[in-house]
């Protein structure tokens, strides 16, 4: 068998296959050309005061940016001519990152999580499940507590109501009952939502003045002055 047939080169070394090149993805902020990386000329310039300077030579625009202590950033490379802006590039990237984080936080939607219990759930398991529910509330999610009954347990639904009352008191500092306990077949459910409902302030009663004292009756046979 020849060396070429058994996959070996004439020197007895395995041939090296063609390497695939992987390009690292970069965010738009990193792909913008700035300062001396801008090669095309001329460009359309917008200065640091957002004024349209017009079409000028790239070298002149770079000189303007250096004189202002800022950067020349190619914001629209596909335009003809490319559009560049004089700005603080580091500050702009920081602001863009903050906007992305804020948009991501707003896009996070609230979900309804479920915590399942049994009438005979022991204290340890109950603590684990309630701790998980507290984490759900902290993340802004609603929690549906479900108690599953089996067989003769259906005759002791009062146990389920007691469990729900304890849960309601336990989470009174971080959540409130959105749907009161209800029974559907062999399931008893209660829905709680994050946030504490403010209780209406009790009306303060103004103390009324004490009733006027009645004149005391004089003993018989005495005369008033």
| 178 and 146 inside one domain | yes
| 89 and 118 inside one domain | no
The CA distance from 144 to 177, in Å, is 10
| 90 and 128 inside one domain | no
Strand arrangement of the beta sheet that strand 71-76 belongs to = 52-56, 43-46, 83-87, 71-76
Which of the residue ranges 16-20, 127-131, 164-168 would you say has the lowest mean pLDDT? 16-20
pLDDT one-digit tens code per residue, 124-136: 998 999 999 999 9
Beta-strand pair 112-117/52-56? unpaired
| 120 and 181 inside one domain | yes
DSSP classification of residue 148 = E
CA distances from 127 to 31, 89, 115, 172 (A): 50, 51, 12, 16
pLDDT one-digit tens code per residue, 66-118: 999 999 999 999 989 999 999 999 998 988 888 887 777 665 667 899 999 99
Domain count, the chain: 2
Q: Tell me, yes or no, whether 6 lies in a domain.
A: no
pLDDT at 65: 93
pLDDT at 152: 83
pLDDT at 164 over 90: yes
pLDDT at 47: 92
What's the CATH number where 43 sits? 3.10.20.80
pLDDT at 155: 81
Q: At what angle do helices 157-170 and 123-138 cross, to 10 degrees?
A: 50
Q: Tell me, yes or no, whether 218 lies in a domain.
A: no
pLDDT one-digit tens code per residue, 20-71: 333 333 344 557 899 999 989 999 999 999 899 999 999 999 999 999 999 9
CB of 140 closer than 8 Å to CB of 194: yes
Q: Tell me, yes or no, whether 214 lies in a domain.
A: no
What's the CATH number where 160 sits? 3.30.110.10
Q: Tell me, yes or no, whether 186 lies in a domain.
A: yes
Domain span including residue 37: 28-99
Across 130-150, average pLDDT: 92
pLDDT at 156: 81
């Amino acid at each position: 068998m020849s060396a070429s047939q058994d996959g070996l080169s004439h020197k007895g070394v395995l041939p090296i296959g063609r390497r695939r090149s992987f390009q690292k993805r970069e965010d738009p902020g990193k792909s913008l050309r700035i300062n001396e990386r801008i090669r095309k000329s001329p460009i359309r310039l917008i200065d640091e005061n957002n004024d349209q300077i017009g079409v000028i030579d790239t070298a002149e625009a770079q000189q303007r940016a250096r004189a202002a202590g800022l950067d020349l950033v190619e914001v629209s490379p596909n335009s003809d001519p490319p559009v560049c802006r004089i700005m603080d590039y580091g500050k702009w990237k920081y602001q863009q990152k903050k906007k992305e984080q804020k948009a991501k936080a707003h896009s996070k939607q609230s979900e309804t999580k479920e915590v399942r219990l049994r009438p005979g759930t022991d204290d340890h398991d109950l603590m684990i499940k309630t701790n998980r529910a507290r984490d759900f509330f902290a993340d802004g999610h609603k929690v549906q507590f479900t108690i599953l009954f089996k067989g003769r347990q259906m005759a002791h639904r009062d146990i389920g109501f007691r469990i729900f009352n304890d849960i309601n008191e336990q989470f009174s500092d971080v959540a409130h009952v959105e749907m009161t306990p209800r029974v559907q077949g062999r399931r008893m459910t209660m829905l709680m939502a994050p946030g504490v409902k403010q209780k209406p302030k009790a009306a303060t009663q103004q103390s009324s003045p004490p009733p006027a004292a009645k004149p005391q009756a004089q003993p018989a046979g005495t005369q008033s002055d």
